[in-house]
Amino acid sequence: MLNNKIDTTRIMVLCEESGIVRRAFKRAGANWVWSVDLLPSEDDDPFHLQEDVFDVLNRFQETCNHVNGVALDLIIAFPPCTYMASSGNRWYSKSEKRLDSVNWTLRLWDRCKDLASFVAMENPVGVLSTALRKHDPHMIESSVQPWQFGHHESKQTKLFLSRLPKLLPTNIVEGREQRIWKMGPSKERSRLRSKTYMGIAKAMTQWLPYIQEMKGLK
């Protein structure tokens, strides 16, 4: 059972309009959880900020109370993957949009590390892995699959971690297929591809007791 002091854990979820990760952490006992995205939240939650992530981070740094030199305990970021994913190599391998997207994401990584004690960044398999490894040798890279967390789906996803452990599988299942990958081009396909699987979102709450322990709250 989580320590009641988990309520003091300050968490921000960036580039997430679905609210799936925010809600998972709230259900796990974390009260201070905000999501940020340029799009409105699908669940109309008041703890969602429809703003530019850098504007929010800059403002938050200026106005919040810092604890142990940092403004937040945990930031989880889901930067746009359109131009960085391997699935886009056919169209964007030599595109300036790919380079701009990588540079924007590296800048976000640095900003997150400046403001939070623990950082996780999610993205599909793509060019970000190599870029981030070169940019930050201390970054820990891991791979997760939906079928490790109760979903009958195959979609390898990368998690880039700073001071966090890799996620442990919670429910390995069979019947794995690339359902979303097989869908034809559409707004619905794009929306589903960007959503975090509920099982993975729930597994991310494994980090809560770890952060508590690292903060010396247990």
The pTM for the full model equals: 0.87
Q: Which phi and psi (to 5°) does residue 67 adopt?
A: -120, 125
Q: What is the pLDDT of residue 92?
A: 57
Structural fold of domain 4-215: Rossmann fold (3.40.50)
Residue 29 tokens, joined = 């006992």
Instruction: Give the residue among 196, 211, 199 at the shortest CA–CA distance from 11.
Output: 211
Q: What is the pLDDT of residue 62?
A: 79
Burial class (CB in 10 A: 0-12, 13-18, 19+), 71: buried
Instruction: Give the residue among 3, 6, 45 at the shortest CA–CA distance from 23.
Output: 45
User: Three-state DSSP class for 65?
Assistant: coil
Rounded Cα gap, residues 96 and 209, in angstroms: 41
Q: What is the pLDDT of residues 181-195, one digit of tens each?
A: 554 444 554 555 557
DSSP-assigned beta bridge partners for residue 70: 67
Domain ranges, ordered by start, for the chain: 4-215
Per-residue pLDDT of the chain (218 residues; tens, 9 = 90+): 454 444 679 999 999 999 999 999 999 999 999 999 999 999 999 999 999 999 999 988 877 665 556 789 999 999 987 656 656 555 555 667 767 888 999 999 999 999 999 999 998 877 788 889 999 999 999 999 999 999 999 989 999 999 999 999 999 998 777 665 554 444 554 555 557 999 999 999 999 999 999 987 54
Q: What is the pLDDT of residues 48-60, one digit of tens each?
A: 999 999 999 998 8
Q: What is the pLDDT of residue 101?
A: 84
Residue 124 tokens, joined = 């599909």
Rounded Cα gap, residues 195 and 215, in angstroms: 30
